[in-house]
Amino acid sequence: MQVLDKTQVEAISRALKEPGWLLEKRLKALEAFARLSYPSKKDEAWRYTDLSEAPLEQEVETPKGLSLSRDELPELVKRRLEKTDVSGFLVFVGPDLVYAEVPEELSAKGLVFTSLAEALKTHPGKVEATLFRGVYVEDKFAAENSAFFTHGAFLYVPAGLEVEKPLGVFKVLEGGKASAGRSLIFLEDNAKAAYIEEYLSLDLPPTLHLSATEMVLRPGARLRHAHVQTLGDGVWHFHRQRALLERDAALNDLVVNLGGRYARSEVASELLGPGAESEMLGLYFGHGLQHFDHYTLQHHVEHHTRSDLLYKGAVKDEARAVFSGLIKLERGAQKTDAYQANRNLILSPTARVDSIPQLEIGANDVRCTHGSTTAPVDEMQLFYLQSRGLSRSLAQELLVKAHLADVLNRIPLKALRAHLEAVIEEKVRI
Amino acid sequence: MNQLEIRDLWASIDGETILKGVNLVVPKGQVHALMGPNGAGKSTLGKILAGDPEYTVERGDILLDGESILDLSPDERARKGLFLAFQYPVEVPGVTIANFLRLALQAKLGREVGVAEFWTKVKKALEVLDWDESYLSRHLNEGFSGGEKKRNEILQLLVLEPAYAVLDETDSGLDIDALKVVARGVNAMRGPNFGALVITHYQRLLNYIVPDRVHVMMDGRIVAEGGPELALELEAKGYEWLRERVKEEA
């Protein structure tokens, strides 16, 4: 069995024909990975999480250079493609970019949407300027990703280009080996785009999945980003993302956890310039033994910035969810508007939610609110709906959808919203 | 056996017995009134008929067209044709009336209901109630006034067309105009295929929904029965008069 060591980092870098600076960065990340220990319940940010069954230190998959025709794509992806409205998309199967469709007219205008490996060849400067700026060696898993990632997607939108229709990345996990990938999104001044990353798989043997998303938004750039995982059982999904928002940049972010055995999302928005705005939406619905962790950071560094976070979720069976959100205001962050709300619906007495909203304020002329509610499903509502002939499960489905509606309604991507509603319906009936 | 029959029904909540041997029959095609003072157990009976899990039935039976429904869940009872208009309709934010009503109709009929078929039905019901179409896109009872909530119950009654309906104090808190609208809805349902039990504290509603029979409940059992004139007598003499009479008879 391979071990997570220097030989392997060098092998990955060589196989991907990477430049020297990247290998150096990977090796530095490896040092951090070796130095850091895996988190335990003694760590404040992991106190609700049991990693004893997680396939840590799993061997990392290696790129095979596979490529497919549209007809040969996995069924999971084909089914999604039938119901999506993305204008261009990349498909990864395991570590390989197997298929890509990018509208010519966008490429002609200077937009780059391809794999990280390809972008390193065609636009090395743009990658070097931004890669690892958002996620590098923040913790054991981030360091593991930075040292061992085998694939990634890269989106670059030149100054002033506004792309209305969303671009999508569909990644299918094959399972049995650890998979580490990244998304790097770089929008120049006043550029506009929408980017959806979706993670799909069948039920798998225990599989480690590491994803990292970095977003660099130059002044006035506007990005709508969605991270959607509907992975199969068996997957342990560790996601970390960080957006860097410069002056007047705006991010509309959505994180969706519906699948996997365990999923953790660490989501940060750094408001680095006056006028920057970040909307952060989260949606989760756990069943069976699923466990979802959400750690969010609204980091107001500069004055006159705004953030608005709404995470809503439901749990049934023995599922667990954790929300821990921090609004952090630096000393110079006057005239900040920051909102944070987390609302949970509990459908069974054996399901559990822990919600910890936090505020750290270093400025005085600000408006901040945060709140959290966790409540069981209302038996009176259930009885009322049932008294009109709706079965208990259909009544629950209505109540779960109603609970999640204000997040769903804030997603202007119609096809994505319909997809999420369908998955939620399915999960109620399981 | 086309009737709703309540047979020696005993029921409790939190260990307290509320119903103490209720016997009552509503034949299909008739509208009966159930009257009685506050705390007599009228609303409890309504909720138990609908299958409210808060209550425990200790003895007796409820038969719908000769078949016991006691072991059925609330939704199974509804699909068999029983409808309870709630005294306090529940607010369900995030669920529109249109969406909910269509799902309920589909559940009742056990098949898909097309948009056209659904709208034809709903529009007719809205006309009877003199209600605006815009209500359909509002969330179920959310922020509704007392009168709007009651009207919404009758809208559901008209669309779902149950075989038997129990109206639990649908008149409470209504002004005279709203009362007339509600009565119009119930009267529109009257016919050989519909039976109803109208629960009310006051005789007032019975001016507009004239019952075939009147039952009076006190302390968890039926103590008097009669024609519509019984309601008028109660209105004139009050429940105390009846209470005295019941005592004398005992």
Q: Is A391 on the interface with B (CB under 8 A)?
A: yes
Candidate from B74, B99, B139 with C-beta closest to A387: B74
Distance from CA of B53 to the nearest CA of A (A): 8
Q: What is the torsion angle, in degrees rounded to the nearest 10, for the CA atoms of residue B225, residue B227, residue B229 and residue B233?
A: 0
* pLDDT above 60 for B97: yes
* pLDDT above 60 for A2: no
Domain containing residue B14: 3-89+162-249
Question: Over the stretch A77-94, which tens digit does the pLDDT of each residue have?
Answer: 999 999 999 999 999 999
Which residues of chain B are within 8 Å of residue A314 when distances are taken between CB atoms?
none
Distance from CA of A313 to the nearest CA of B (A): 15
The mean pLDDT value for A294-300 works out to 98
Candidate from A384, A389, A394 with C-beta closest to B92: A384
Candidate from B50, B79, B90 with C-beta closest to A380: B90
pLDDT, mean over chain B: 94
The mean pLDDT value for A125-134 works out to 97
Confidence at residue B175, expressed as pLDDT on a 0 to 100 scale? 87
Question: Over the stretch A161-211, which tens digit does the pLDDT of each residue have?
Answer: 999 999 999 999 999 999 999 999 999 999 999 999 999 999 999 999 999
The mean pLDDT value for B99-110 works out to 95
* pLDDT above 60 for B8: yes
Q: What is the CATH number of the domain that holds B35?
A: 3.40.50.300
ipTM of the complex as predicted: 0.96
Confidence at residue B6, expressed as pLDDT on a 0 to 100 scale? 98
Confidence at residue B41, expressed as pLDDT on a 0 to 100 scale? 95
Nearest chain B residue to A384 by CA: give it: B90
Distance from CA of B234 to the nearest CA of A (A): 32
Candidate from B86, B93, B108 with C-beta closest to A389: B108
Question: Chains A and B: how many Cβ contacts under 8 Å?
Answer: 75
Tokens 């260990």, residue?
B15
pLDDT, mean over chain A: 96
Distance from CA of B248 to the nearest CA of A (A): 40
On whether the CB atoms of residues A234 and A262 are closer than 8 A, the answer is: no
The mean pLDDT value for A265-290 works out to 98
Scanning A399-418 for CB atoms below 8 A from B yields: 399, 401-403, 405-406
Q: Is A373 on the interface with B (CB under 8 A)?
A: no
Q: Does the beta-carbon distance from B75 to A391 stay under 8 Å?
A: yes
Question: Over the stretch B131-153, which tens digit does the pLDDT of each residue have?
Answer: 999 999 999 999 999 999 999 99
Question: Over the stretch B200-235, which tens digit does the pLDDT of each residue have?
Answer: 988 889 999 999 999 999 999 999 999 999 999 998
Q: Does the beta-carbon distance from A383 to B79 stay under 8 Å?
A: no
Nearest alpha-carbon partner for A152 in A188, A195, A194: A195
In a domain, B228, yes or no: yes
**Token pair of A288 as six digits:** 């069976």
Q: Which of A385, A388, A403 to mutate to test the interface with B (most CBs of B within 10 A)?
A: A388
Q: Is the dihedral of CA A184, A278, A311, A430 positive or negative?
A: negative
Q: Is B93 on the interface with A (CB under 8 A)?
A: yes
* pLDDT above 70 for B236: yes
Confidence at residue A1, expressed as pLDDT on a 0 to 100 scale? 44
Nearest chain A residue to B91 by CA: give it: A381
Candidate from B52, B78, B94 with C-beta closest to A402: B94
Nearest chain A residue to B153 by CA: give it: A388
On whether the CB atoms of residues B60 and B21 are closer than 8 A, the answer is: yes
Question: Over the stretch B32-89, which tens digit does the pLDDT of each residue have?
Answer: 999 999 899 999 999 999 999 999 999 999 999 999 999 999 999 999 999 999 999 9
Which residues of chain B are within 8 Å of residue A387 when distances are taken between CB atoms?
50-51, 74-75, 77-78, 83-84, 86
Q: Which of B91, B92, B99, B139 to mutate to test the interface with A (most CBs of A within 10 A)?
A: B92
Question: Over the stretch A362-384, which tens digit does the pLDDT of each residue have?
Answer: 888 999 999 999 999 999 999 99
The mean pLDDT value for A138-143 works out to 96
Q: Is B156 on the interface with A (CB under 8 A)?
A: yes
Q: Does the beta-carbon distance from A394 to B78 stay under 8 Å?
A: no
Q: Domain-by-domain residue ranges, chain A?
A: 6-272
In a domain, B222, yes or no: yes
In a domain, B132, yes or no: no
Candidate from B78, B93, B99 with C-beta closest to A387: B78
Which residues of chain A are within 8 Å of residue B75 when distances are taken between CB atoms?
386-392, 395
Candidate from B86, B92, B107 with C-beta closest to A402: B92
Question: Over the stretch B174-195, which tens digit does the pLDDT of each residue have?
Answer: 888 888 988 999 999 999 999 9
- Output the 3-class SS for chain A: CCCCCHHHHHHHHHHCCCCHHHHHHHHHHHHHHHHCCCCCCCCHHHCCCCCCCCCCCCCECCCCCCCCCHHHCCHHHHHHHHCCCCCEEEEEECCEEEEEECCHHHHHCCCEEEEHHHHHHHCHHHHHHHCCCCCCCCCHHHHHHHHHCCEEEEEEECCCCECCCCEEEEEECCCCCEEEEEEEEEECCCCEEEEEEEEECCCCCCEEEEEEEEEEECCCCEEEEEEEEECCCCEEEEEEEEEEECCCCEEEEEEEECCCCEEEEEEEEEECCCCCEEEEEEEEEECCCCEEEEEEEEEECCCCCEEEEEEEEEECCCCEEEEEEEEEECCCCCCCEEEEEEEEEECCCCCEEEEEEEEEECCCCCEEEEEEEEEECCHHHHHHHHCCCCCHHHHHHHHHHHHHHHHHCCCCCHHHHHHHHHHHHHHHHC
Distance from CA of A377 to the nearest CA of B (A): 11
Residue B8 gets the label, from left (phi > 0), alpha (psi -120 to 50) or beta, of left
Candidate from A381, A390, A392 with C-beta closest to B104: A390
* pLDDT above 80 for A430: no
Nearest alpha-carbon partner for A154 in A115, A206, A118, A190: A115
Candidate from B74, B79, B93 with C-beta closest to A383: B74
**In chain B, % of residues over pLDDT 90:** 85
Q: Does the beta-carbon distance from A391 to B107 stay under 8 Å?
A: yes
Which residues of chain B are within 8 Å of residue A392 when distances are taken between CB atoms?
73, 75
Domains contained in chain B, number? 1
Q: Does the beta-carbon distance from A399 to B100 stay under 8 Å?
A: no
Q: Does the beta-carbon distance from B104 to A401 stay under 8 Å?
A: no
